[in-house]
Structure 1
Amino acid sequence: MTNQLLPILEELTPNGGACVNEADFQQPDFQNVFYGANYPTLKAIKSKYDPLDIF
């Protein structure tokens, strides 16, 4: 799926993102695909409340 199907889907739907039910845990660009421009903010919040990276 990761190396064969995802590139085809990404070509058909540029900047299309992903839905939770179709997420691929091996997605190479998960930060952008799943969270978009919100990723840096979400990462900072997680670091603040989970400094030991337990979750």
Structure 2
Amino acid sequence: MSTDTMSGRPADDVAQLDRADGFEVQVVALDTDAIVDAELNADRIRIATRNGFVVQAFRR
């Protein structure tokens, strides 16, 4: 799934699809987890969420 098409979708659904594609997935709940590491990982997709829905996703 393209990171451009993830916004607005339920985070659990997006994470499941990305894991099935072989990516490491990090879900960051902006409501509670505003701090993340700066380590680059080309095989990781970081999904930022609010209220369980994706607001931003990027490979990092």
TM-score by length of structure 1 reads: 0.27
Q: Which entry has the higher C-alpha Rg, 1 or 2?
A: 1
| Larger relative contact order (Cα-Cα within 8 Å, sequence gap ≥ 6) | 2
